[in-house]
Structure 1
Amino acid sequence: MEQQHPEGSNPSLPPGTVLLESREQSEIILHPHPTNDPNDPLNWSRLRKGINFGLTSFYVLFTFVMLDIFTVGFDSYMKDLGVPYQILNDSTAANFAGLAIGCWIFIPLVHKYGRRPFYILSSAIQLAAAIWAASVKTSGEIVASNLLAGIGGAISEAIVLITIIDLFFIHQHARLNGAFVLVQSTGAFGGPAAAGFIIDSMGWRWMWWWTAIFLGVNLVLVCCFFEETKYVPPLIGLQNRLQGQPSTAQHDDEKKTDSYEHVDNVSAKYNFEDVPRPNPLSKRLALITKSDVSVRHHYYLPFQILFTFPAVAYSAITYGLLLAWFSVITSASSYFLLKPPYNFTPSSVGLFTLSALIGTLIGIFTGAPLSDRSILWLSRRNGGIFEPEMRLWVAFPGALLCTVGILIYGLCLARGYPWIVPAVGFAIFGVGFSISSDIALTYLTDCYPDVLGDALIGVVFVRNGISVIIMFVYTPWITALGIQNTFICVAMISLAMVIMPALLLFWGRKSRKWTASNYRRFAMRQPMARNI
């Protein structure tokens, strides 16, 4: 029996609602649809995808090492350079400002010139920022080097999620987004642990020199081996088979896409009369893959999309609050754990952050697989139809764990409990952090894949904007309320994250249906949209 893709055959269905599994044959329906072009990244072999995603992961790892080791050196900055705690928090806020501004500047250009040149540019800027950070002598330089580091790392989240969309199918997104969160968290939590030991043994400047060395290695790897994942289909010979069958694969779908020849075994939405030849290495590693499209509208569309689609606003607010609370905890640890009754050294502060990494690992290895498996189970119960809101059930334990972790950490730190107790709180926060961030990003990816680049600009801008505000007011907040009351306030705000997925479970599908025409209008303004 011919199987129709809901979006393609029934435009009345909301964006994100797709036929994920055939009821007759228990087959997974591949979304987005691959072509029969061997140069389509969806058709790359598993090894080729793995190499590209591995390089992306290495880039993300040291981007977040670069962005998150600064707080471990607070005590050293205060002693060696006489920099007050307020300036150090302001420098952290400047870093977040760079992240917000840089993403807004660079991501629109990713659509026009490809992913590869901006991976290279980002890596080069971060290398320069690390060298500068190792050489700073004044408060102004500390703030400026943090701002530059933020600009350099600004595209790291958005471009990686765009790369995942380029390479992988919808039923793989949670696992790949989970892998991204894992690598991100390893850099954010593991980097400070290593930096603490470097500070104790070699001094705070060497934590930046070692970072610069690894960022230099990353730059070489990206330049030499990272292939462009932006797909620009040949214009000649394209047949749009709107009435054709959607692509299918058995549950062992990775074996089906091990090489592009397998694509001929399934029915593709877009096929070429003459199958194109594989691109030569020179084209795969070209510095620029340019499209003749305007990108001006990509500088204001992100904000239109942010205020048009509730799913985008949910992702932005959730991700923003998570990052802000992470920054609040790490800043508190880098200052209060150095004082009685803890009297930690920088290496001990760095090791303390490993508790959050352990929690993050637990969250990733339970939350992401549970999310992907739950949507398959729920889709079967829904006649094979997948709704993005099916993922949101997993968001509830994530939000609750974040709140519990913040409360345990803040209350125990304020009361001087043994260090293991706030460490457990930080670990619980890590579990909730990984689950909540993975669900928020994957839900956005599932709902609006064809406007993801613009949506992520809005998400990252809001996320970092929230962090800028929180870090600027954090020191006066602590001074006015004290540690305990500040963290109680933070926990109550965090608890509000439970409300958002609950609202979307009831009205998410309706909101996607109400805004479907806007989505398709925005999608038509994207450089390349597979499904609109």
Structure 2
Amino acid sequence: MARRNRNNILAGDEVLVPGTIVLLDPRHVLSRHAKNNSDIVLVPTPSDDPEDPLNWAPLRKTLALSCMLLYVFAVGVETAVLTSILVPFSIFSTISIPDLINGNGYSYLLAGWGLLFWQPFALQYGKRLTYLATFAGVTAINIWMAYCRSNTPWIIVNVLSGFFAATVEALPENTIVDLYFTHERGSLLALYALALIGGSTVGGVIAGFICDALGPEWVFFIPTIFGGGVWIFMLFFMEETNYNREATGMVQNVVDSELVQDTLVASTLPTSKKEHVEQAVTPTVVGSVEYKPKTFFQKLSLVSNQKRGNFWFIAWNQVRFATWPVVLFSGFMYGLNLVWTVVFGFTSSTILSAPPYNFSASMVGLTGLAALVGIFASVLTSGKLNDIIMLRLVKRNDGVYEPEMRLWLFSIAVLLIPASIILWGVGAAHGIPWMGLMTASALLAFANTLSVPLSVNYVIDSYRDMAGAALTVVIIIRNTMYFAISYGISPWIEGMGMQNAYILCAFIALITTASFLIMVKWGKEIRQKSAVKYWALRKESIDRGVVH
């Protein structure tokens, strides 16, 4: 075998498959391990800088995470109040229900495509500034919505709302990557899903009561007041998490490439071979940096210290990922989750407001509690279950982690999503008791909350250092699918009838959700084919100082 030198086994080069990493190291061949489990390797490798977000104290990390989750929840509430008051707001604003739904579709379309601007902006100028600026935009525009009385301003306000709300779709995942290691992300992405889906659900629940008590316009005013309070909290407590880890004086492992495969399965090496590997893995100090802790006011700075002049480079990187199969798959699976939520959400008001249910606006909103039950049940079980299953599969794989290992949890969604769609659509067509529809809503919410972290985590784990750019494509695909279904759902149901349309949806859901098996089987091979492109792109980004 030819002998080649290579840097840091965890950083990799073109000979390594992107996303394939050593996660368990029971013989401690590698140097950086988790404190609560000394067999788990810390990925990514943290620097020695105490201001590196990976090195922050638990309380400081929790505060940063809490600010992000509050942001996601508040934006979700502000942008989702319409779903349960379509009928009364249509009467109040004189805008037809189809036009209201179409306008909301434009909002989601821009919430995807707007990331082409906001992701480079956040990586170039700072996530803290981006969070605060976009949240202020969403909150201000939410007030404008209450005064729309025709279709043209309704479309304009939804386009602007979607543009400013775009960051809620991808920036929070990047914040989690900034703060936490690979083995910790399953549960934390489940919390993100809780905030994202829970905020949208709570928005629908409270909107009905606000509408009945104060009038349709206050449906937009009350969440805006709440959002203003969250914005002030973020202003004083949300820190910047951008960090250029490659530029610091960190310790890296220099390893002879002939031993790469042996090191990847170090836990199975005989003693003599292990000693050989230990001699080959030696710490090398790169540079010498004096670290100074930030003051309180430095932590609240609105401008990050990232290198300037890379905005268009970062923006173009996002476009490059548009043809990568792993990214396309993640976007497709994420989009499916939103599509089925739309199929429920935009028919709930019309179904439950009509006979035999005859629900008021407040009661339609209250039915969102069923979805909240499913969301909380999923977060309490799926996040930990995801990490447990992943770690067990890693142990069986000699300590080597493959991103496809998390995908097995889609098996639950394969069963629950089609079942919930049939129960909702066929049940509504036959006028079953409302508890049956609530059961369907809870099951779908459980499955979607479980699926969102799987879709996001797959692309993050596969292309960790370029996750921001890859996630932009994922969200564009997801929200474009939403835009298409928001236009098509009403004529689709009218043309086929409630029962037939939902039966077809169930079969589509079954086939498409089961497509995760394709990536379980061939995902690693697909990632391997992208290795040369990925490592070259990563190196170019490091040279420009935009990988962190």
Report if TM-score (shorter chain) is over 0.5. yes
Assess, with a 3 A threshold, how the Cα gap between structure 1 residues 28 and 136 changes in structure 2: closer, same or farther: same
1:262 paired residue number: none
1: CA distance, partners of 2:201 / 2:62: 24
1:12 paired residue number: 15
1: CA distance, partners of 2:508 / 2:12: 43
1:244 Cα deviation after fit? 7.9
Counterpart of 2:101 in structure 1: which amino acid? Answer: N
2:112 paired residue number: 100
SS of equivalent to 1:135: coil
**Of residues 240, 245, 252 in structure 2, which corresponds to 1:241?**
252
Counterpart of 1:21 in structure 2: which amino acid? Answer: L
**Of residues 317, 320, 323 in structure 2, which corresponds to 1:307?**
323
Aligned pairs (5 A) from 1:46-195:
46-195=58-207
1: CA distance, partners of 2:91 / 2:64: 43
Q: Is the 8 A contact 2:10 2:44 kept in 1?
A: no
SS of equivalent to 1:153: helix
2:240 paired residue number: 228
Q: Is the 8 A contact 1:89 1:472 kept in 2?
A: yes
1:395 Cα deviation after fit? 1.2
2: CA distance, partners of 1:390 / 1:508: 10
1: CA distance, partners of 2:246 / 2:521: 42
1: CA distance, partners of 2:88 / 2:13: 62
1: CA distance, partners of 2:48 / 2:315: 33
Counterpart of 1:295 in structure 2: which amino acid? Answer: F
**Of residues 269, 288, 292 in structure 2, which corresponds to 1:277?**
292
Assess, with a 3 A threshold, how the Cα gap between structure 1 residues 274 and 451 changes in structure 2: closer, same or farther: closer
1:517 paired residue number: 532
Q: How big is each residue's C-alpha offset from its partner over 1:334-369, in whole Å with a ceiling of 9 and x where there is no partner? A: 112111111011111111122112112222221111
State the Cα RMSD in Å: 2.2
1:272 Cα deviation after fit? 5.8
Q: Is the 8 A contact 2:115 2:472 kept in 1?
A: yes
**Of residues 8, 25, 28 in structure 2, which corresponds to 1:22?**
25
2:449 paired residue number: 434
Assess, with a 3 A threshold, how the Cα gap between structure 1 residues 209 and 188 changes in structure 2: closer, same or farther: same
1:363 paired residue number: 378
SS of equivalent to 2:353: coil
Confirm or deny that 1:452 pairs with 2:467. Answer: yes
Q: Is the 8 A contact 1:15 1:448 kept in 2?
A: yes
Confirm or deny that 1:294 pairs with 2:294. Answer: no
Assess, with a 3 A threshold, how the Cα gap between structure 1 residues 306 and 143 changes in structure 2: closer, same or farther: same
TM-score (structure 2 length as normaliser)? 0.88
1:261 paired residue number: none
1:242 Cα deviation after fit? 3.6
1:506 paired residue number: 521
1:525 Cα deviation after fit? 3.9
Q: How big is each residue's C-alpha offset from its partner over 1:464-520, in whole Å with a ceiling of 9 and x where there is no partner? A: 101111111222112211211221222222112333210111101111111111111
1:5 Cα deviation after fit? 6.1
Q: Is the 8 A contact 2:112 2:169 kept in 1?
A: no
SS of equivalent to 1:71: coil
2:398 paired residue number: 383
Confirm or deny that 1:201 pairs with 2:217. Answer: no
Q: How big is each residue's C-alpha offset from its partner over 1:148-192, in whole Å with a ceiling of 9 and x where there is no partner? A: 221121111211011001100000111110010011121011221
Counterpart of 2:411 in structure 1: which amino acid? Answer: F
Consecutive unaligned residues of structure 2, counting only runs of 5 or more, are 1-6, 29-37, 257-281
Counterpart of 1:447 in structure 2: which amino acid? Answer: S
1:84 Cα deviation after fit? 1.7
Counterpart of 2:547 in structure 1: which amino acid? Answer: A
Counterpart of 1:304 in structure 2: which amino acid? Answer: R
TM-score (structure 1 length as normaliser)? 0.90
Q: Is the 8 A contact 1:107 1:155 kept in 2?
A: yes
SS of equivalent to 1:241: strand
2: CA distance, partners of 1:457 / 1:187: 21
1:137 Cα deviation after fit? 2.5
2: CA distance, partners of 1:410 / 1:344: 17
SS of equivalent to 2:94: coil
Tell me which moved more, 168-177 or 434-443. Answer: 434-443
Counterpart of 1:440 in structure 2: which amino acid? Answer: S
Task: Provide the identity percentage.
Answer: 29
Counterpart of 2:187 in structure 1: which amino acid? Answer: R
Consecutive unaligned residues of structure 1, counting only runs of 5 or more, are 246-266
**Of residues 451, 466, 469 in structure 1, which corresponds to 2:484?**
469
Assess, with a 3 A threshold, how the Cα gap between structure 1 residues 295 and 421 changes in structure 2: closer, same or farther: same
Q: Is the 8 A contact 1:31 1:169 kept in 2?
A: yes
Tell me which moved more, 319-328 or 43-52. Answer: 319-328
Counterpart of 2:22 in structure 1: which amino acid? Answer: L
Q: How big is each residue's C-alpha offset from its partner over 1:390-448, in whole Å with a ceiling of 9 and x where there is no partner? A: 11111121232112111111110111111111111111111110111111111111111
1:11 Cα deviation after fit? 5.1
Assess, with a 3 A threshold, how the Cα gap between structure 1 residues 138 and 283 changes in structure 2: closer, same or farther: same
